[in-house]
Amino acid sequence: MKPVCTTCPYCGVGCGLLASGDGSIKGDPDHPSNFGRLCSKGAALGETLGLEGRLLSPHVGGAPTDWDSALDLVAGKFSAAVREHGPDSVAFYVSGQLLSEDYYVANKLMKGFIGAANIDTNSRLCMASTVAGHKRAFGSDTVSGTYEDLELADVIVLVGSNLAWCHPVLFQRIQAAKSERPGLKIITIDPRRTATTHGSDLHLAVRPDGDTALFNSLLGEIVRRGRVDQAYVEAHVHGFEQSLSAAQSTLPADTGLSAEELQLFHDLWIGSEKVVTVFSQGVNQSVGGTDKVNAILNCHLATGRIGRPGMGPFSVTGQPNAMGGREVGGLANMLACHLDIEDADHRKTVQSAWQSPTICTKPGLKAVDLFRACASGQIKALWVMGTNPAVSMPDADAVSQAIKAVDFSVISEVVEQTDTSTVTDVQLPATAWGEKTGTVTNSERRISLQRAFLSAPGETRPDWKIICDVAQRMGWAEAFSYQSPVEIFREYAALSGQAAGLGGDFDISGLATISEAGYAEFTPVQWPIPSGSPGVDRFFGAGGFSHRDKRARMVPVIATYDGRRRRNIFQLNTGRIRDQWHTMTRSGKSPRLSQHQSEPFGEIHPKDADELGLKPGDLLEIQSAYGRAVVRARITDGIARSTVFVPMHWSGANSATGRINAVIAPTIDPISGQPDLKGGLVQLRRFDALWYGFAVSVAQMPASSAYSAVIKTTSGWSCELAGIEMPASWVQQARNVLNLKTGSISQMRDSAKGITRVAIHEGSRLTGLFFAASSPVTVDRQRAVSQVGTDEQALAALAGLPAVGQPDPGRLVCACFNVGVNTIRSAIHQGATTLVEVGNCTAAGTNCGSCKAELQTLINAVPILTAAE
Ligand SMILES: Nc1nc2c(c(=O)[nH]1)N[C@H]1C(S)=C(S)[C@@H](COP(=O)(O)OP(=O)(O)OC[C@H]3O[C@@H](n4cnc5c(=O)[nH]c(N)nc54)[C@H](O)[C@@H]3O)O[C@H]1N2
Ligand SMILES: Nc1nc2c(c(=O)[nH]1)N[C@H]1C(S)=C(S)[C@@H](COP(=O)(O)OP(=O)(O)OC[C@H]3O[C@@H](n4cnc5c(=O)[nH]c(N)nc54)[C@H](O)[C@@H]3O)O[C@H]1N2
Ligand code: SF4
Ligand SMILES: [Mo]
């Protein structure tokens, strides 16, 4: 069978894939986002398609039911709440992972038919500050540039972005451009050392939230050096003087950088016209996120470096359809097609296009307030779609409680048990990636189709269909009578033409009459796509902003900085790792992806670790007024003092105490409503475990004990754990942890190492291994994983050592070819000194390339011997 062209369901790069029903996935050589490239997550998609753990039928009150009963219940509850308490008593909380068609109908239902705007999305946690910053500066939420600009630039500045891990294919494109043109300089601005800073020419370890001060210092310097584009500013920009005086009132010292570092940055940025400033969550997720965005935009506007090849500000979107969500008006303060709720003409246009009985007249509740309103009883019915807020929202324990407190809650999910689905009343089974069809828009405004290549399993239905099924039952049968996604797409495209008529930027009306066959053959295309005239490649090169006077605004922004250091008060920074996707409900199904980083961890500076009495391998307890978490300490001088970095991915479903958002305060940027997920103050201490353990089982292990982190392996599951009470019986403890009630037991006490070892056999098959010790257990994890599920002798397995002649490959670095750190180090010691040579010897880094930055670090760590030595 011919593979199907589709689009990756993970990050906003939006790579094209060739997917087959047997789960084989390749990069699509013809897709203009990736030209055949892939990253480790995309390459491992085939391992996530199994039906294990999928939600396959509607559930009410924990029991399976039929669709009609579930839909009648949901529609009845929402209608009753609207009737009895008004439209503002219901809310949807949706996701940048929905397809545009799903997203569009959800918004249509809430804003045009229920008549309130209480629909917000996880993009509030992600892109809201950029949206607000764009709107302040441009009058519209427009990303002006294209990926090609990154290849045409002379200087690329990455601000608050770990591109090498979070947008790996874009990073690969940049690296390829750099190897062709070594003059291309990459600057990364991040308080922390990352895989991206390793691949950069200059790393500016700005103090947390020092970005506004940094770009203010740049604006001052642009002016001092006479490099303002006077003609552009005079013709197209307002607010120059006010912004400059605000910038000049900011102290360069507030950046936390030295005078030399600042000068280097100024020289590079000002010295080349072709500069692209890429920004992401280190900018957006801050109490001053919107100001940071405008501080960056100010510098591009003052120099007229926008909308021309090789230059411009560039916000990279996170989720596969973060951009599409903004286009359909997914946020509580927007209308479809970049129209504004506050504008009466805009509302009228949308209402008449929808022929709807009503239209919301004021912005709805933004994510943090939305869940507060759930807790307070204002929201009587809540519908969550395609997101896991009990893990990803700040103050996550309170969010979980808030969902429980709502009279009636429903979730549309693909996975049976998530931290959120287990606290909702109704679970509706959605078709997953690979089983459904619809469009997504990537970071460069390129619309691509995700196509089904598998049949829908069980009773699952696509999200758009579930929403329409409910809307029809709420009395709006005609307005939601779509038979397929293309019908929704056509309506949406037609509306965008009317929106553009009101002066908007978003116009895809050229696709408003697309046929079913045309949609099925959809090839990736960048908007704007007006009907009857050609679109443009880039926006704003010659002005033409969306404010009424067509001018952009430079916005005065001031950074304030509380530089006091307090004893045992740390700034909590959070973010992503290379091989997991958010709350791991999908990427966590891949054993390969789970090996790269198998535990939640906290990066901490060696001096802080010393002060806290932390040794490598110890556990770290993180506490705030909101909650606590326990993670593995990772001691590194790559992180600044008094800060700690923890990944966002671990949830209650796979860890006992690794859910970091339980600790994070629900503090928001007052302009965008985006939570400060990279800020927040915490206290740290060494977690005093009485024992540490490691377990491997053929059965799925629950997240138990005082500390635990469970991952999927090739033979079942493995788990790191620790306890604060000595179990009465290690055998019983092993059975509980391994989730194996039956089977014969072998036990061994290794007094030399102080390790208790328990093996469980079912007949001749080894079903579980459990190791415990008073200090972190030092058995060979990979060896233990490879033994479980086989006919391994108990005593050999309990010895936990690699068999003679079988070297331990070490922690996984290259997920594509399963190459461990020890294999790579040994190749380097044997003389491989470049990425190509390491690739030739071990195959590491030769497929998706996501691990190249890590390989380079390993190469750099080994001194190269010269002939003289
Ligand atoms: N592997 C992987 N890739 C992903 C995702 C995933 O879950 N896994 N998710 C996708 C999504 S939805 C998103 S939004 C993107 C996010 O992509 P990124 O924004 O690149 O990812 P993060 O790791 O959240 O944060 C980036 C960096 O911001 C830094 N930072 C923290 N505070 C500051 C600060 O004050 N200033 C500056 N300059 N930097 C700071 C952090 O140290 C971190 O290294 O990734 C997308 N891609
Ligand atoms: N501490 C901290 N917290 C963060 C961040 C951070 O940097 N630090 N980043 C924030 C950001 S940028 C983001 S984008 C969020 C992401 O956070 P979430 O959106 O909560 O994370 P996901 O795990 O992607 O959740 C998606 C859910 O949808 C389900 N799903 C998958 N496919 C489908 C489908 O087709 N239909 C339906 N109905 N459901 C589906 C998945 O199983 C999963 O449970 O996290 C935010 N939270
Ligand atoms: S870079 Fe990786 S995760 Fe992002 S779209 Fe491409 S293959 Fe998917
Ligand atoms: Mo995101």
Q: Nearest 5 degrees, angle CA 712-CA 718-CA 722?
A: 135
User: Is residue 148 domain-shared with residue 262, that is, in the same domain?
Assistant: yes
Is residue 517 exposed (0-12), middle (13-18) or buried (19+ Cβ within 10 Å)? exposed
Of 701, 686, 572, 704, the C-alpha closest to 630 is 686
Closest-lying ligand 1 atom to the alpha carbon of residue 679? 32
278 Cα: distance to centroid of ligand 1 (angstroms): 12
**Residue-wise over 264-298: b if at least 16 C-beta within 10 A, else e?**
bbbebbbebbbbbbbbbbbbbbbbbbbbbbbbbbb
Residues 681 and 698 in one domain: no
Kindly state if the Cβ of 43 falls inside 6 Å of ligand 3.
no
SS3 content of the chain, % helix, strand, coil (to 5): 35, 20, 45
| Whether residue 117 sits in one domain with residue 168 | no
Rounded CA separation 761/744 (Å): 5
543 in any annotated domain: no
Calculate how far, in angstroms, residue 413's C-alpha sits from the geometric centre of ligand 2: 11
Q: How far is Cα 761 from Cα 793, in angstroms, rounded to an integer?
A: 9
Q: Is residue 848 part of a domain?
A: yes
How far is the C-alpha of 604 from the C-alpha of 169, rounded, in Å?
29
Distance of CA 206 to the CA centre of its chain: 22
For 127, residues 6+ apart whose C-beta sits below 8 A from its C-beta are 96, 284, 315, 317, 318, 322, 326
- If asked whether residues 495 and 579 sit together in one domain, one would say no
- Rounded to whole angstroms, how far apart are CA atoms 792 and 789? 8
Rounded mean pLDDT of 145-162?
A: 98
Nearest C-alpha to atom 24 of ligand 1 is from which residue?
575
Mean of pLDDT over the chain = 93
pLDDT in tens, 466-479: 999 999 999 999 99
- Which pair of structure tokens corresponds to residue 625? 């007024």
Q: According to the model, what pLDDT value does residue 565 have? A: 60
List the single range of 66-70, 394-398, 587-591, 809-813 with lowest mean pLDDT: 809-813
In whole angstroms, what is the distance from residue 153 CA to residue 180 CA?
A: 13
Q: How far is the CA of 392 from the centre of ligand 2 (A)?
A: 7
Q: What is the pLDDT of residue 803?
A: 41
630 falls within a domain: yes
The full DSSP string for 748-801 is EEETTTTEEEEEEEETTEEEEEEEEESS-----HHHHHHHTTS---HHHHHHT-
The binding-site residues of ligand 2, defined as CB within 6 angstroms of any ligand atom, are 95-97, 122, 125-126, 281, 285, 318-319, 385-389, 391-392, 412-415, 418, 430, 432, 463, 574-575, 582-583, 585-586, 648, 660-661, 664, 677
Tell me the backbone φ, ψ of residue 420, rounded to 5 degrees: -85, -45
Nearest CA to ligand 3 atom 7: 42
Q: Domain boundary residue among 282, 315, 348?
A: 315
Residues with CB under 5 A from ligand 4 (ion): 126, 318
Question: In the listed set 656, 687, 718, which residue is the last one of a domain according to the structure?
Answer: 687
In 11-169, beta strands by DSSP E: 16-19, 25-27, 59-60, 63-64, 90-94, 119-121, 155-159
316 CA from centroid of ligand 3 (Å): 13
Nearest CA to ligand 2 atom 12: 126
Our answer on whether the CB atom of 13 is closer than 6 Å to any ligand 3 atom is yes
Q: How far apart are CA 306 and CA 542, in angstroms?
A: 9
Question: How far is residue 147's CA from residue 32's CA, in Å, rounded to a whole number?
Answer: 9
- Which residue type does 65 have? T
Domain contains 546: no
**Amino acid 562: pLDDT:** 64
Q: Is 616 exposed, middle or buried (0-12, 13-18, 19+ CB in 10 A)?
A: exposed
Give the pLDDT band of residue 571 (cuts 50, 70, 90). Answer: very high
Cα 320 from Cα 11, distance rounded (Å)? 5
Looking from the CA of residue 9, the nearest atom of ligand 2 is 32
Lowest mean pLDDT among 123-132, 232-241, 627-636, 754-763: 754-763
pLDDT tens by residue, 87-114: 999 999 999 999 999 999 999 999 999 9
Q: Which residues are within 8 A (CB) of 148 and not within 5 positions of it... i.e. 6 or more apart?
A: 309
Task: Please choose from 162, 278, 323 the residue to mutate so as to test ligand 1's pocket, defined by most ligand atoms within 8 A of CB.
Answer: 162
pTM of the model: 0.94
Among 653, 687, 721, the domain boundary falls at 687
Q: What is the pLDDT of residue 728?
A: 93
**Residue 22 class from Cβ within 10 Å (0-12 exposed, 13-18 middle, 19+ buried)?**
exposed
* 323-352 per-position pLDDT tens digit: 999 999 999 999 999 999 999 999 999 999
pLDDT of residue 863: 55
Asked if residue 556 has pLDDT above 90, the reply is yes
Ligand 1 atom nearest to CA at 165: 1
Q: Is 742 exposed, middle or buried (0-12, 13-18, 19+ CB in 10 A)?
A: exposed
Looking at residue 447, which CATH number applies to its domain?
3.40.50.740
132 and 122 share one domain: no
Is residue 282 domain-shared with residue 392, that is, in the same domain?
no
Task: Report helix, strand or coil for 463.
Answer: helix
Rounded-to-10 torsion of CA 518, 523, 525, 530: -20
Q: Is the CB of 370 under 6 A from ligand 3?
A: no
* Cα-to-centroid distance, 254 and ligand 4 (Å): 28
Determine which residue's CA is closest to atom 4 belonging to ligand 2. 392
Q: What is the DSSP string of 425-447?
A: SEEEEBP-TTT--EEEE-TTSEE
Tell me how far apart the alpha carbons of residues 535 and 546 are, in angstroms, rounded to a whole number: 16
Does residue 787 lie within any of the structural domains?
A: yes
- Which is more confidently placed, 843 or 538? 538
Atom nearest to 432 CA in ligand 2: 35
Mutate to test the pocket of ligand 1, among 172, 190, 391 (most ligand atoms within 8 A of CB): 190
pLDDT value of residue 869: 27
Per-residue pLDDT band for 800 (boundaries 50, 70, 90) equals low
Residue 801 has pLDDT above 70, yes or no: no
Name the residue type at position 365: L
555 domain residue, yes or no: no
Overall average pLDDT of the 25-44 stretch? 96
Instruction: Note whether 429 and 399 are within 8 A (CB).
Output: no
Say which CATH number the domain at 852 has. 1.10.10.1100
In a shared domain, residues 279 and 227: yes
- The CATH number that applies at residue 42 is 2.20.25.90
26 Cα to the center of ligand 2, angstroms: 24
- What does each C-alpha distance from 554 to 222, 298, 547, 671 come to in angstroms? 14, 5, 12, 16
| Stretch (H or E) spanning 43 | helix 40-43
pLDDT at 566: 67
Q: How far is the C-alpha of 346 from the C-alpha of 360, rounded, in Å? A: 11
Q: What is the pLDDT of residue 561?
A: 65
Question: Measured between alpha carbons, how far is residue 313 from residues 134, 156, 280, 444, 660 in Å?
Answer: 10, 10, 11, 12, 31
> Same structural domain for residues 649 and 698?
no
Nearest CA, atom 6, ligand 3: 15
Q: How many independent structural domains does the chain possess?
A: 6
Q: For the domain that residue 193 is a member of, what is the CATH number? A: 3.40.228.10
Among all chains, which residue has been given the structure tokens 């919107």? 290
Q: How far is the CA of 488 from the centre of ligand 3 (A)?
A: 26
- The order of strands in the sheet holding 16-19 is 4-7, 16-19, 25-27
Compute, in degrees rounded to 10, the torsion defined by CA atoms 192, 196, 202, 206.
-30
| Per-residue model confidence (pLDDT) at position 805 | 41
Closest Cα to atom 10 of ligand 1? 318
340-348: Cβ within 8 A, 24+ apart:
341/111, 341/117, 345/502, 346/499, 346/502
Residue 868 included in any domain: no
Which of the listed residues 93, 388, 674 should we mutate to test ligand 2's pocket, taking the one with most ligand atoms within 8 A of CB?
A: 388
What is the predicted pLDDT for the residue at 808?
Answer: 64
What pLDDT, in 10s, does the model give residues 639-668? Answer: 999 999 999 999 999 998 999 999 999 999
Question: What stretches of 387-502 adopt beta strand conformation (E)?
Answer: 408-413, 426-429, 438-441, 446-450
Residue 238 reports pLDDT greater than 70? yes
Q: Pocket residues for ligand 1 (CB within 6 Å)? A: 11, 41, 126, 159-162, 165-166, 189-192, 194, 206, 208-209, 211, 280-282, 286, 318-319, 573, 575-576, 578, 580-582, 678
pLDDT tens-digit readout, 712-771: 999 899 999 999 999 999 999 999 999 999 999 999 887 777 789 999 999 989 999 999
Q: Which structural domain, as residue segments, surrounds residue 834?
A: 812-860
CA 556, chain centre distance (Å): 30
Q: Is residue 849 part of a domain?
A: yes
Looking at the structure, tell me whether residues 346 and 479 fall in a common domain: yes
Instruction: Tell whether 668 and 774 lie within a shared domain.
Output: no
Nearest alpha carbon to residue 73 among 58, 93, 57: 58
The fraction of the chain above a pLDDT of 70, given in percent, is 97
Ligand nearest to the CA of 660: 2
CA of 846 to the centre of ligand 4 (A): 28
Instruction: Supply 712's token pair.
Output: 């999927």
Coil/strand/helix, residue 421? helix
Joined together, the tokens standing for residue 821 give 């750190």
DSSP 803-864: PTT-----SEEETTTTEEHHHHHHHHHTT--SHHHHHHHH-TTSSS-TTHHHHHHHHHHSPP
Give the C-alpha separation, 36 to 34, whole Å: 5
What whole-number distance in Å separates Cα of residue 251 and Cα of residue 558? 10
Q: Which ligand 2 atom is at minimum distance from the Cα of 126?
A: 12
Same domain flag for 602 and 700? no
- The reported pLDDT for the residue numbered 866 is 33
Q: What is the mean pLDDT of residues 360-367?
A: 96
Q: Is the peptide bond before 528 cis (omega within 30 degrees of 0)?
A: yes
Residue ranges with strand state E in 495-559: 525-526, 552-553
Average pLDDT over residues 396-417: 98
Number of Cβ within a 10 Å radius of residue 249 = 12
- Atom 40 of ligand 2, nearest CA residue: 386
**Residue in the structure block whose two tokens are 């690969």:** 172
User: Do 252 and 293 reside in the same domain of the chain?
Assistant: yes
Which residues sit opposite 323 in a β-bridge? none
Cα 352-497-34 angle, rounded to 5 deg: 130
Query: Are 457 and 10 in contact, with CB atoms under 8 Å apart?
Result: no
Q: Is the CB of 10 under 6 A from ligand 3?
A: yes
